[in-house]
Amino acid sequence: MPRPPFLRAFVSPAALCALGFVAAMAAVLQFSLRAYIPGSLEPGGLTLTNFAALLRPLYGRVFLDTVWICFITAVCTLVIGYPVAYALVRAKSAFLKSAMLIIVVTPLFLGEVVRTYSWIVVLGNNGFINTVLLKLGIIERPLQLMFTAFGVVLALVHVTLPVMVIMLAAALSHIDPDYERAAESLGAGPIRAFVTVTLPLSTPGIVAGVTTAFAWTFSAFATPQLIGGGQVNMVSNLVYQLGFASFNFPFAASLSVAGLVLAFGMIALLRTALKPLESVGPH
Amino acid sequence: MRNPRASTWAGAAGAVVVGTILAFVLLPGLVVMIAAFNARAILSFPPESWSWRWFAKALAYDDFRTGFRNGLIVTGWASTIALLVGAAFALALDRYAFPLKRTIEGVLLAPLVIPHFTIGLGFLILAAELGATRGFAVVVACHVVLVLPFVLRSVYISLRNLDQRLELAAASLGAPPARVLTTVTIPLLAPGLVSGWLFAAILSFNEFTASLFVTAQRTQTLPVAMYNYVREYADPSMAALSVMYIVATAIILILANLFLGLGKVLNVEESR
């Protein structure tokens, strides 16, 4: 086989980008092992004190909260994303299909700030839900929805839904609807046909969707920052606060490293937990 | 089907469930639209009087204007660089064997699962270590890495659907490799290239968390300016800006759907 044309020109820019990214991640790792000198942006010598400080209950709490919020968000997103993905793939009218796709996908491209702001307008004390409920006389004083874990999870589910739907729809679109019809013609009701045929066949999409939703939620910053308002803190908020309020970049870096290890650990755990499901899926 | 009535029932129940979920998806956007036209600075539903004044205020606000301009600079550079780098690499990935192939691919796809605050922090520290000023170069480099996975995926999908025999035909008729590339491969890949660039541009323009870490006052992009505004002020200017955002994004996606087929680009329908 002759040497492929342009190979070097095609690969080297990408290799350079990969190198830049690895260097940035190495910089975080390196900083996480350096001492913090108060009042200085220059880090000190090598040390493990940053990681020792992570063991304080205050930080343990934030890590636990983060994992819990990510987990609840991933599960809720799966539960409400599945029907939408199913409807999207099985819709017969092309117009309905496009309309659903655009409604679902548009929020993905709005960015976190616009979407979070919209939820502030919905959830605030003078916001949509409270004003409407007060006017209807259902409640007497505004419900506290902002600065609660409930508010944060609600907004995060909204933020993560498009990705979940795309991943599930990608898996569902590769399942032949004839399988379901075959089950029904053999006497299974529509629900039984769905549960015994389509659902197991879509497990790869479920696994991909849940793990991606988990990773995306872990990465969220504006939503817990603005809707949590300091009452609900995730790792991202702590990293930002340490970096830009205390200028303790070495500790911010070690929190990021610990966060990354935690996120990957949880994702690996999720995959293992979902593994038995996958074996009933396609072979 | 043995029991048509049961499946009609299931269908109706399904339509209600899906309708409710879509209403949940649309709710914040609709509420923000109402808030944007509220004449008073304090939110109320339904508004007592209507006005366009918050749109005028948002358009005149200096930080939003500079943020928009900076955003265009960063997005223009980042998405174009990502397209060139990503398309070339996707082509190499699809066709050639070369050392470290899977490693480079893995590293370039990693930003999909690594939190953006970690990536932002990394580029911030790296820039400081290299003694670089916090100018546009750092922001652009960070954005290129963030959007590359989407370009790779988009171009890779259209490469899979490309009929390689057309290239072989051109080559057998005597076209040198460069000519095959520019007259056959690139035109056939055009939809994938356009959608890859478009996704990269939209995502870069809206990237917030990493931008917050790597931008300085002078290079602040629009989402960062919006975030600072939300933290300081509560008037509906931000609602007005959000409405412009939502409308612009929806129009771009509807056009993308018409010309590129969003379902195929996102791989949620089979291309036959």
Q: Tens digits of per-residue pLDDT, A156-166?
A: 999 899 999 99
Q: For residue B210, give the H/E element and its range.
A: helix B209-214
Specify the pLDDT at position B262: 72
Q: Are A203 and A283 in contact (CB under 8 A)?
A: no
Q: Are B27 and B13 in contact (CB under 8 A)?
A: no
Cβ-proximal residues to B243 (8 Å cutoff; 6+ apart), any chain? B32, B33, B36, B55
Question: Rounded to whole angstroms, how far apart are CA atoms B13 and B189?
Answer: 42
Q: Are A127 and A121 in contact (CB under 8 A)?
A: yes
Please name the member of B22, B84, B242 whose beta carbon is closest to the beta carbon of A114. Answer: B242
Q: What is the DSSP string of B148-161?
A: HHHHHHHHHHHHHT
CATH 1.10.3720.10 fits B53-265, yes or no: yes
* Amino acid found at B148: L
Question: Rounded to whole angstroms, how far apart are CA atoms A260 and A219?
Answer: 10
Tell how far CA A31 is from the center of its chain: 26
Q: What is the mean pLDDT of residues A147-151?
A: 93
For chain A, positions 94-113, list CB contacts with chain B under 8 A.
97-98, 100-107, 109-113
| ipTM metric | 0.89
Q: Do A100 and B22 touch (CB under 8 A)?
A: yes
Whether residue A2 has pLDDT greater than 60:
no
Question: Rounded to whole angstroms, how far apart are CA atoms B49 and B46?
Answer: 9
For chain B, positions 168-207, list CB contacts with chain A under 8 A.
177-178, 181, 202-203, 205-207
For chain A, what are the domain ranges? Answer: 55-279
Instruction: Spell out which residues of chain B touch residue A243, defining contact as CB-CB under 8 Å.
Output: 121, 124, 213
Q: Is A4 touching B (CB cutoff 8 A)?
A: yes
CATH of region A55-279: 1.10.3720.10
For residue B184, give the DSSP letter: I
> Tens digit of pLDDT per residue, chain B (272 long)?
445 666 677 778 888 999 999 999 999 999 999 989 887 777 777 777 788 888 998 999 999 999 999 999 999 999 999 999 999 999 999 888 888 899 999 999 999 889 999 999 999 999 988 887 778 999 999 999 999 999 998 898 888 888 888 888 998 998 888 888 888 889 989 888 998 999 899 999 999 999 999 999 899 999 999 999 998 888 889 999 999 988 998 888 888 888 877 777 676 665 43
Question: Rounded to whole angstroms, how far apart are CA atoms B137 and A137?
Answer: 55
* R_g over Cα of chain B: 23
Q: Within 10 Å of residue B89's Cβ, how many Cβ atoms?
A: 27
pTM score, whole prediction: 0.90
Q: Is the dihedral of CA B60, B62, B63, B64 positive or negative?
A: positive
Whether residue A225 has pLDDT greater than 90:
yes
Q: Are B47 and B37 in contact (CB under 8 A)?
A: yes
Instruction: Spell out which residues of chain B touch residue A249, defining contact as CB-CB under 8 Å.
Output: 121, 125
Instruction: Spell out which residues of chain B touch residue A18, defining contact as CB-CB under 8 Å.
Output: 103-104, 107-108
Distance from CA of A271 to the nearest CA of B (A): 14
Q: What is the mean pLDDT of residues A25-46?
A: 85
**Nearest CA among A95, A282, A77, A96 for reference residue A166:** A77
Q: For residue B238, give the H/E element and its range.
A: helix B237-260
**Nearest CA among A143, A151, A128, A282 for reference residue A224:** A151
How many Cβ contacts (< 8 angstroms) between chains A and B?
Answer: 287
Q: Angle at the Cα of A232 (from A230 to A234), degrees rounded to 5? A: 100
What is the pLDDT of chain A when averaged over all its residues?
87
Q: Which two tokens stand for residue B232?
A: 């300081």
Which segment of A21-30, A198-207, B67-76 scores lowest on mean pLDDT?
A198-207
Specify the pLDDT at position B271: 42
Which segment of A179-183, A278-282, B25-29 scores lowest on mean pLDDT?
A278-282
Specify the pLDDT at position A1: 42
